[in-house]
Structure 1
Amino acid sequence: MDSACGPPPEMADRREELTPMMGQYHDLCARYDDAIVLFQVGDFYETFCGAAERTARLLELTLTSREDSTGEYPMTGIPVDNAASYIDDLLEAGYRVAVADQVEEPGESPGVVERAVTRVITPGTLTEDELLASDDNNFVAALARTDDTHGLALLDVSTGDFLATSSTSSEAIADEISRFAPAEAIVGPGVDGALAPEACMVTPFDESVFERERAGELLADYFGDPDSLLAGDAEVRACGALLAYAEYARGGVEEDEDADSDGTIETGTQTTRLEYLTHLTRYDPREYLLLDAVALRSLELFEPRAVYGREEATLFGVLDETSSALGGRKLRDWLRRPLLEPARIDARLDAVEALTGDVRTREELTDLLRDVYDLERLIGRISRERANARDLRSLRDTLAVVPELRDRLEGVRDECDRLETLHANLDPLSDVRELIEDGLVADPPIEITEGGVIAEGYDDDLDELRETARDGKRWIDDLEESERERTGIDSLSVGYNSVHGYYIEVTNPNLESVPENYQRRQTLKNSERFVTPELKKREDEIVGAEERADEREYELFCEIRREIAAAVERVQGLASAVATLDALVSLSTVAAQYDYCRPEVIGRDEPRTLEIEGGRHPVVERTQESFVPNGARFADDRRLGIITGPNMSGKSTYMRQVAQIALLAQVGSFVPARSVRLTPLERIFTRVGASDDIAGGRSTFMVEMDELATILEEADERSLVLLDEVGRGTSTADGLAIAQAITEHLHDEVGATTLFATHHHPLTELTDDLEAAFTLHFETTQEDGEVVFHHDIAPGAADGSYGVSVATAAGVPEPVVERSRELVAEAGAESATERAGAGDGETAATDDAMTAADDATTGTTDAPSATDDATTATADGGDVPTDVAAELRALDLAHLTPVEALTELDRLKRLLEE
């Protein structure tokens, strides 16, 4: 346990000796010993002892001290009104924060002011707008396991989005967690916390909440019979545990809560209920196009590649023309989970097409949606009783837009069922809107306990109290003039301060004229302040009326807030409709502005088809002044494309372009192309780019092999596989052997739609033996010794890799370039002597070595015969013992995994070295 969490050790042994306030602090730290307790003392949240020392260092604050009858304690405080930024820093440092607020006003009861933890703030349970990204969900996850099934639950505490799924494959669950990128996760017994992404905080939590009976009871209390909502015990356990954790984070637990010494949070009886959690959605990952963490990164859905470095240089960035936070989150969800069913895809496409074709309607909707506040988080705060009057006015302002949204949809709603449904679901909530309009002033203050919130005429009792206060103030306003006339003191004035109340002030030279009924209240340097019995009476009336009015206003505000909270499901339904409309308008805006076309999506039972004419990379075309479109055509008899050509010619961009266009089509978006026709893909795999896992002890090559193993095990004929330069992390011979084995396996055994970009030129010869394989290359020429990239893709293999020319273009020093040319020329000459027709001068030596390695590992007719000679020639001119050559020929590379192939090659290499 971190010394900054838990009860301070210096207090633990003498709890009974502590002052009442420090005793409170000790008890709250003991109860929430997994967190730093922020303890409200007036206008500050204070920490003491070890927690104070730690927060002072982390937050760069001054460490002070507090002294009382029991000792002196280090102390650090942060202002209550500006706590969010400090809390964010504590979360970034890996801490949870328990906020202990004063739950009564000083003087309300004898003794120390009562404090209670009102919320526990963790990375996954944030609800503060200042700490949340407006256009993205902030999920907390729970993982449970029963036998061979993993259950996954995901909850956004700020919006109420609650999802559940399960799988017998731990890899599939890991992919789902990566897809949603939760900020935090709790794990049940027997679950490997490593399933969560590296950036996700894994929080130990009371294992009893994962018990089937307890989890089921809690779920039933919220949603009814869990067995009718969820599929199996694993999902019930995960969802129930996550609910318990969300309630714990809400705060307000009873005194029987405690925590184990290992830091695992134990829960007690909850006194709060999350009323805004009204829906639990169970989904099957197989209903959506699957994208694992590698694919999410490679396809730049949400995170930009370093080469661009800008947030907008992502697929989400180029599609995001949403006007509201609601629409942004909806669009992100669509990108995370592209659809599979053509009917659902076409429903979205119909709506996008209708809006794309009506410029005026689209622009008017965009303008109106800019005035929409974040309804999901607003109703969440309202239900948690944390909303202020301005939040309610924001809700009112949003509801005022809804009738106009309905009016603008009138002209297009008949064009597709989706827009018709949206029109029907745009509930204006007129009763809620009228309640806010009638009950609250137009521009209320932030504070809800100090008056000025409730509108005139809403409550007779409040109006009477206000009138009493106004009458008293009018009397006081007239008092100054009447007393001047009565006393003859022209400088007499009537004033007020919060300490002494109302007073009559007379300067020293006029004190002899003060009437007898004036009672001295305060003496100043140059004047005296007095009261009269009548003034005191009026003051009591005014102050009493104002205090009672403030109390009444707060009561009325809470009543209004509770009445709105009762409409939570209606508000959430409206929020969903507005979010969907905003996302559709965004897609149609992008389609119109950037010349996207409607894709044709055919039935999943139809033969495999992926045809793209004039396709463009949606991200890259926004970052460059010009972009060369390229097409693609895949079918059952044309499913594996081998792409060659030099670096910088566009191979990687082309592959990502194909995948992103297919993905966008399944999102229900128009796509950057002249035309697209496809059967829905069920999964996209990518092995693009070099990376390592130093912390995990894996080299770049091992990471590559692990990713390839996953692809070869899980891909099928409904998958799209992108491979870029596989096998370059080891020797040329090993790399070529692995690349060829993978190519053959994908073609013969997996059957996936595949694009394989490679510098292993001998792979292009595989098209002679693999009937569904074909070659592509990027057109490249040399002019005056310089390589020129045309970025046009064409059938056939490239005539070389132009490596030296690319090095020249990259700015490699001229002496190095010239020496490289000499070496290439020498290698080419040697190769030409040994074997005619080596090909391009720059690549002859490399291709010769690759071909020789290919011969050695596959037993082609060009290799020397083992039956005629005692030894077999190797790629570098050495000799291979006959037994090793025989083992090489016997290897069934098409049925070995990449790692197995590498292991065999390593074993044979060691035999040669013995």
Structure 2
Amino acid sequence: MAKYTPMMEQYMKIKAEHKDAFLFYRLGDFYEMFFDDAIKASRELEITLTQRDPGQKEPIPMCGVPYHAADNYIRILIDKGYKVAMCEQVEDPKTAKGVVKREVVQLITPGTVMESNMLREGENNYIASLSHFKDGSYVIVYNDLSTGENRIALLSHGWDTVIHELYNQPIKEIVVSSSLPEDLQRQLRDRLHVTLSYQDEVNFNAEYRNLCENLNDERLMKSFSRLLNYIQFTQKRSLNHLQQAEVIELDHYLSLDMYSKRNLELTETILKKGKHGSLLWVLDKTVTAMGSRMLKKWLERPLLNKQHIEKRLQIVDGFYSGFMERDTLRETLKSVYDLERLAGRIAFGNVNARDLNQLKQSLEKIPELIETLKQFEQEQIKELADRLLYPKHLIDILHSSLVDDPPVSIKEGSIIKDGYNETLDNYRDASRNGKKWIAELEQKEKQETKIKSLKIGYNRVFGYYIEVTKANIHLLPEGRYERKQTLANAERYITPELKEKEQLILEAEEKSVELEYTLFIQIREQIKEHIPQLQHLAEVVSTIDVLQAFATVSETNNYKRPRFAENKLSIKNGRHPVIEQVMKDGSFVPNDISLDDNKNILLITGPNMSGKSTYMRQLALTVIMGQIGCFVPCEDAELMLFDQIFTRIGAADDLVSGQSTFMVEMLEANHAISNATNKSLILLDEIGRGTSTYDGMALAQAIVEYIHNNIQAKTLFSTHYHELTALEETLPNLKNIHVRAEEYEGNVVFLHQIKDGAADESYGIHVAKLADLPEALIERASSILSQLESTDKPAPTTEKIEAGQLSFFVEEKLTAKKEKVSVSHNKVINELKQLNLFEMTPLEAMNELYKLQKDAKK
């Protein structure tokens, strides 16, 4: 067994306590890593891998990063989902006996980042904890350490609900118990792509009692304690900026499952995984970073309470009407910094003088905000002005204490103003006068010695000195000059007067820097007492910012204020908020939509590329915009309040987990019909296309009938199975509509207009022609189509499907073979056995199957 030095033994002991993190071990001006950490870090950070003790039989892999540049390397590791343990020297090397004592002073994880260069301004950085209880319930706790926000949700509807809830939040890390089943842990890692951490201790820490005063459920308390204990373990410092836990009443918000959030591209696009092209991209006309974060939270949780929605709309209306005042408001908000995260850094202790100057500048703008808000006619806007309470005296403290352009470091001086502290002024006076005295002494020595090249200099090793070239040494008087250092061409000396003054100057400079740091900490502690006020102020400013953004985007894009009704929806000339921005040429074709209790299912037919999916998506986005309190893209809108939105729009293969497009389609359809109510909105696009024609048609019809007879949810169902349009005759609450297209000189022209009734044809071959498929192929397809159309088309059955008959949608049964052929005639069975399927073309096979079906129905 290899024998290691005491320092390496110290390293290994500390590393053993942080096995799941890179240990940044401080050695002088570097953070060093050893063994497996070094090998992995050299690969992830693209830095050189070296060796410690290279002459030994088993040299130790080693790599390191400079301490002054460590933040950049830490950010890279955190972005990749790793953790970093910061191991610092905690005693003075000069007085240490043996190996300098070192400890991990902070564990930086993806969910506990505090440094501004590792955070995205417009996004929260959540860490969550997940707890499971014997009654089958789950509790999720969210924390954003950078803002102090804490929120808790209780879920009682199974594991799928947990996955959907977690997916819809920007979570970077999840803390769980080590007893959570491994298959559930794997799902969290694979489906949510987050860092998984463990904390089994759930005993309540009395230090945080004020954060839990509103929690009257033991499950909530234990779950919150789990997360608090983990945060305290990783950060190892006071966390007095944490806010009281807010309990999320999930039934107060419109529910969006993970499929709907993805398919509707609310906050990011599916392909590019970026904000551009999402609904958030269109609506985000906020000015502050904290406003942008609040807008994203509102989008993720639209409201169900009509009174709260109307209050937001009323304020937006007021901002909309006051264009000049709103413009002034936006200009003022541009000078307000991120108060939420400033408050967090003040409490956390990593704030600098520049941050505090940003706080001062922000607070100085609050009176201007109040004055501007009071100029609006809307009373609710004036009430917002009354809520802008802030600690005014902090402005005076910061104005009198900090220089206008301080350095980044708080440990090198030059951050406190002259006149703020008498002792500091005395130190500075001694230092400045001392340097003036030295300059005068240099002139005096030149005159007395007649040496024009004589100079007085300073370095950190030898202090102040008088430097004389060797050619002039003979001119120095004897007895007064004491040799201090010899150079190649000169000698350096010190005199009794210079030595005395040197001590005074250096002592003044050293004490000045120490005192400035102490004074800064005192100022920070004064501000820390007002963190709750600053957090309240940040919330009000964020709300103002989001609502003025709604007014700004509504005016720019000609949105209208929606009204709300019970169980019906009517939109005149509705538009897709994102696509009309992407097109920019004004060519987007608006369309009406109407749904009520008499006609709550719209069956949409029309060719591919004609706009069916766009029509469906724009309805969902309009509903969401209305329920977050924003005006909507149309000429007029009467909306109903939906409790849930379910979507199945577009193909979404999940090949990594072994799920095909069709499987995903069925799972999403099952999720919708299993959870929807008559207050829900369901959008299903081309259900059944992933399997054979008759299978697909049967499934599509069964789903439509089930929704119609058992759920009565407002539903848009687009299909390429034109046979389903016959359902309008048997399902009284279903209405056919189609996307208009015209044929002109052999080509199809998409008009993107929604009209009543069924489409007359699908134009599939015309679309293929637009895609420039070979002419011979197009002609052959047309010929085949004519042959198929010459046979009778099967009409859909109208047998009523009772509740419970769709059990085949359950995932376990989807993976098994379900098709069972039941025929009553021996003749049909015998003919079926004699068919040689491997020698038949698909068209011949389909024709034979159709004949057998007709015989079986006799």
Normalized against structure 2, the TM-score is what?
A: 0.91
Residues 220-369 of structure 1 aligned to structure 2 (within 5 Å): 220-224=206-210, 226=212, 229-230=214-215, 232-251=217-236, 272-306=237-271, 311-369=275-333
**What residue is the counterpart of 1:166 in the other structure?**
154
Q: 1:54 aligns to what? A: 40
Q: Distance in 2 between matches of 1:477 and 1:910?
A: 113
Partner of 2:575: 616
Counterparts of 1:519-668 in structure 2, within 5 Å, are 519-602=482-565, 607-624=566-583, 625=585, 626-668=587-629
Q: How far off is 1:79 after superposition?
A: 2.1
- 8 Å contact from structure 1 (residues 741, 898) kept in 2: no
- Assess, with a 3 A threshold, how the Cα gap between structure 1 residues 674 and 430 changes in structure 2: closer, same or farther: same
Amino acid at match of 1:764: T
- Counterparts of 1:368 and 1:792, CA distance in 2: 44
Cα distance 1:459–1:69, how it changes in 2: closer, same or farther (>3 A)?
farther
Residue 178 (structure 1) aligns with: 167
Name the CA distance, whole Å, in 1 between partners of 2:68 and 2:549.
Answer: 36
| Alignment partner, residue 428 of structure 2 | 466
Query: What do you get for the CA RMSD once the two structures are aligned?
Result: 2.3
Q: Flag the 1:73–1:540 CA change in 2: closer, same or farther, 3 A.
A: farther
For 1:905 and 1:554, the matched residues in 2 are separated by 75
What amino acid sits opposite 1:57 in the alignment? R
Q: Is 1:115 matched with 2:102?
A: yes
2:675 corresponds to 1:677: no
**Unaligned segments of structure 2, at least 5 residues:** 834-858
Contact 1:100 1:117 in 2 (8 A): yes
What residue number does 1:907 align with? 820
CA contact (8 A) 1:741 1:894 kept: no
Quote the residue 2:855 is aligned against: none
Q: Distance in 2 between matches of 1:527 and 1:449?
A: 36
Tell me if the contact between 1:347 and 1:416 (Cα under 8 Å) persists in the aligned partners.
no
Residue aligned with 1:770, SS = coil
- Partner Cα distance (1:57, 1:486) in 2: 65
How much does 1:103 deviate?
4.1
1:371 and 1:122 mapped to 2: Cα distance? Answer: 31
Deviations 1:129-168 (A, max 9, x none): 2222110111111111222211111111111111001121
The alpha-carbon distance between structure 1 residues 284 and 910, as it changes in their structure 2 partners (threshold 3 A), is farther
Displacement after TM superposition at 1:50 (Å): 2.4
Shift in Å at residue 72 of structure 1? 5.1
SS at match of 1:153: strand
Aligned partners of 2:808, 2:575: CA distance in 1, in Å? 33
**Aligned partner of 1:608: which letter?**
N
Measure how far apart 1:891 and its partner are: 8.1
Q: Does 1:727 align with 2:712?
A: no
Within 1, Cα distance between the matches of 2:114 and 2:614? Answer: 39
C-alpha spacing 1:358/1:108, structure 2 compared with 1 (3 Å): farther
CA contact (8 A) 2:484 2:493 kept: yes
Q: Distance in 2 between matches of 1:554 and 1:110?
A: 29
Give the direction of change, closer, same or farther, for the CA distance of 1:895–1:416 in structure 2 (3 Å limit).
farther
Q: 1:403–1:428: 8 Å Cα contact kept in structure 2?
A: no
Deviation sequence 1:761-785 (CA, Å, 0-9, x none): 1211111111111011011001111
Name which of 471, 483, 490 aligns with 2:452: 490
Written as runs of structure 1 = structure 2, the 5 A alignment for 1:792-831 is 792-828=753-789, 830-831=790-791
Q: CA deviation at 1:194?
A: 5.3
Amino acid at match of 1:392: L
One-letter identity of the residue aligned with 1:333: K
User: 1:893 and 1:729, CA in 2 relative to 1: closer, same or farther beyond 3 A?
Assistant: farther
Counterpart in the other structure of 1:152: 140
The answer on whether the counterparts of 2:428 and 2:509 sit within 8 Å (CA) in structure 1 is: yes
CA deviations 1:276-313 (Å, max 9, x no partner) are 1022101111100000110001111011143x886321
Quote how far apart the aligned CAs of 1:231 are.
5.3
3-state DSSP class of the match of 1:647?
coil
User: CA deviation digits over 1:806-831, x for unaligned, max 9?
Assistant: 11112222222222112112323x32
Whether 1:43 aligns to 2:29 is: yes
Residue 126 (structure 1) aligned to one of 110, 113, 116? 113
Question: Distance between the aligned counterparts of 2:341 and 2:698, measured in 1?
Answer: 55
Give secondary structure in 1 for the equivalent of 2:452.
Answer: coil
State whether residues 119 and 125 of structure 2, in contact with CA within 8 Å, keep that contact through their aligned partners in structure 1: yes
Moved more, 179-188 or 442-451: 179-188
How many angstroms does 1:243 deviate by? 0.7
Structure 1 residues 810 and 416: alpha-carbon distance in aligned structure 2, compared to 1, 3 A threshold: farther
Is 1:777 aligned with 2:738?
yes
Classify 1:366/1:610 alpha carbon distance in 2 versus 1 (closer, same or farther; 3 Å). Answer: same
The residue identity in structure 2 corresponding to 1:334 is W
Q: Single out whichever of 185-194 and 770-779 deviates more from structure 2.
A: 185-194
Structure 2 counterpart of 1:435, one-letter code: I
Q: Aligned residue for 1:260?
A: none
Which residue does the alignment assign to 2:854? none
Query: C-alpha displacement at 1:439, in angstroms?
Result: 1.5
Code of the aligned partner of 1:274: L
Amino acid at match of 2:120: A
What are structure 1's unaligned runs of at least 5 residues? 1-9, 252-271, 836-847, 860-889
1:708–1:898 CA contact under 8 A, matched in 2: no
Kindly tell me: are residues 108 and 321 of structure 1, through their superposed partners in 2, closer, same or farther at Cα, counting changes over 3 Å? farther
Taking the TM superposition and a 5 Å limit, the aligned residue runs for 1:687-702 are 687-702=648-663
Instruction: Tell me how far apart the structure 2 counterparts of residues 120 and 295 of structure 1 sit (CA, whole Å).
Output: 36
Q: Secondary structure of the equivalent of 1:777? A: strand
How many angstroms apart in 2 are the aligned matches of 1:618 and 1:452? 52
1:906 is paired with a residue whose SS is coil
Identity over aligned residues, as a percent? 38
Q: Deviations over 1:514-552 (max 9, x none)?
A: 122111112222221111111011111111111111111
Deviations 1:322-367 (A, max 9, x none): 1111011000011001001111001111111111111111111212
Aligned-pair CA distance for 1:910:
11
Preserved contact between residue 187 and residue 202 of structure 1 (Cα < 8 Å): no
State whether residues 721 and 752 of structure 1, in contact with CA within 8 Å, keep that contact through their aligned partners in structure 2.
yes
Deviation per CA, 1:69-94: give whole Å up to 9, x if none: 99953321112222233223323444
Match of 2:362 in 1: 398
The alignment of Structure 1 onto Structure 2 pairs a total of residues equal to 814
Tell me, in whole angstroms, the C-alpha distance in 1 between the residues paired with 2:463 and 2:823. 96
Judge which range, 74-83 or 586-595, deviates more: 74-83
1:57 offset after TM fit, Å? 1.9
Q: What CA distance in whole angstroms lies between the structure 1 residues aligned with 2:395 and 2:705?
A: 65
Q: How does the TM-score come out when normalised to structure 1? A: 0.86
Query: Which range moved further: 70-79 or 369-378?
Result: 70-79
What SS does structure 1 have at the residue aligned with 2:819?
helix
SS across alignment from 2:732: coil
Query: Is residue 472–residue 542 contact of structure 1 (8 Å, CA) maintained in 2?
Result: yes
Displacement after TM superposition at 1:201 (Å): 2.5
| Letter aligned with residue 634 of structure 1 | L
- Counterpart amino acid of residue 588 in structure 1: A
Return the alpha-carbon distance in structure 2 between the equivalents of residues 785 and 416 of structure 1: 61
Distance 1:703 1:370, change over 3 A: same
> Does the C-alpha gap of structure 1 residues 107 and 533 become closer, same or farther in structure 2, counting only changes over 3 Å?
same
2:192 corresponds to 1:199? yes
Structure 1 residue 650: Cα displacement: 0.3
Contact 2:710–2:803 (8 Å) recurs in 1: no
Equivalent residue of 2:598, what SS?
coil
Q: Which residue of 2 aligns with 1:508?
A: 470
Shift of 1:470: 1.6
